[in-house]
Structure 1
């Protein structure tokens, strides 16, 4: 997805978070948008726990996402549960061969056609944890760019589920997106690149220097501001 299209998607989701909002509709828009915005993600859903410990799926993009979630609930293992209950970020590059989930992995690959998976944990209302679940039909297909973009959508989902506790997270997510957009514009002008190549330049710089994408963008913007003084 080219940057202008990405910004349009993000703006549409951000607008849906304004009061008054329909939480169910907003969450559905977020999961649908992350599939559109990321090249490596084919299915998405949100898992949430309640105060009694039960886990349920919200806003699945399709039946595959539902079946993947429910298989993990049934077996009591999988990246989705790991994210909800333990780790903040869980990434699986090859579901079929990952030894962490010996029951879930082979069935997810063989029965549901899942190759790789990514899950983010977030906290919403008190005593409630959630997981933002992303599924790919190909192994090793969720790269660093997809992961960074997906994290923004996970933050938006957290904001929708617990606005009063998460609006700072939302603001940071939107500030990150705007900062990346500014940096892309600067790189386009400086190196005479189109938006897609300018964004790819930032991603490569991030990977080469092992620096977060938003930090690379912030450095580009800061450099221009410093030179303008």
Structure 2
């Protein structure tokens, strides 16, 4: 390893250690990781990072537009270095995507037509688990030698940890947002039930059934029906009128 490449790798690893913050979205963190990979791996012109999510679609980011196009072709065709790296848990590389490449007979020529002839895909491993893959591309042929491959594999370890932790943070944010939304919806429904109670004298269970029937009749969510009831009541209160709030059909009829 040359002194310059060693310095580039160390600088990238140092930046990688500080890449994870709770404030930035998952895709921002992953795109930063991909950009650091370009700086670390000799010969790289661009990089993409795919993170496998068990709870939904995989997250795919790229450091450059041409990487997005190559990755889209790879995943659309269903073959390529990234897919093979994940399937075999081993590093895959090629310096002749547009030429003789038996492993990817469809993807290789298409990547070559896009002006990309070299690829290096490294699986992101956490113990025995594959969390994703780092895909590094170059326009020229035979851009990645054993030196580049070694650096890519060394970079992939910390990258896997950063990407995995970023995903955990994102999932935590998603869960928190989901719970907050659920709590808000529950509070709104309770408020609407209270309005129906004061309007009709029904029991809490009967008031809930009024809202539920209105939801089914209008083909909208129960929480949306409740929000309408609450908004109408607030509008009446702000207007200063003593008119009773307009509650959806079943409430007005008192049935």
Give TM class, smaller chain.
0.5 to 0.7
Q: Is the 8 A contact 1:122 1:129 kept in 2?
A: yes
Aligned residues: 164
Aligned-residue Cα RMSD (Å) equals: 3.1
TM-score (norm 2): 0.56
The answer on whether the counterparts of 1:45 and 1:61 sit within 8 Å (CA) in structure 2 is yes
Q: Which stretches in structure 2 are left out of the alignment for 5+ residues?
A: 167-255
Q: Which structure's CA Rg is the greater one?
A: 2
Aligned-partner Cα distance in 1 for 2:87–2:57: 12
2:136 to 121, 128, 134: 134
Provide the rounded CA distance (Å) in 1 between the counterparts of 2:136 and 2:49: 9
Q: CA deviation at 1:141?
A: 1.2
1:108-123 aligned within 5 A: 108-110=111-113, 112-123=114-125
Query: Which shifted more, 146-155 or 113-122?
Result: 146-155
Q: Which residue, 97, 101, 111 being the options, matches 1:98?
A: 101
Higher mean alpha-carbon deviation, 134-143 vs 23-32, is at: 23-32
Secondary structure of 1:121's counterpart equals strand
The superposition leaves residues 177-213 of structure 1 with CA deviations (integer Å, 9 ceiling, x where unpaired) of xxxxxxxxxxxxxxxxxxxxxxxxxxxxxxxxxxxxx
What is the CA distance between 1:40 and its match in structure 2?
Answer: 1.0
Please give the alpha-carbon distance, in whole angstroms, between the structure 2 residues aligned to 1:49 and 1:91. 20
- CA offsets, 1:43-94, max 9 Å, x none? 1011133337854412x10111111111011111111111122342111121
The 1:143/1:133 distance shift into structure 2, 3 A limit, reads same
Which consecutive residues of structure 1, in runs of 5 or more, have no partner in the other structure?
Answer: 165-229
Corresponding residue number in structure 1 for 2:79: 77
Q: How do 1:134-173 and structure 2 match up within 5 A?
A: 134-163=136-165
Q: 1:51 aligns with which of 54, 58, 65?
A: 54
Alpha-carbon distance in structure 2 between the residues aligned to 1:41 and 1:118? 9
Compute the TM-score of the two structures, normalised by the length of structure 1. Answer: 0.61
Partner residue, 2:13: 10
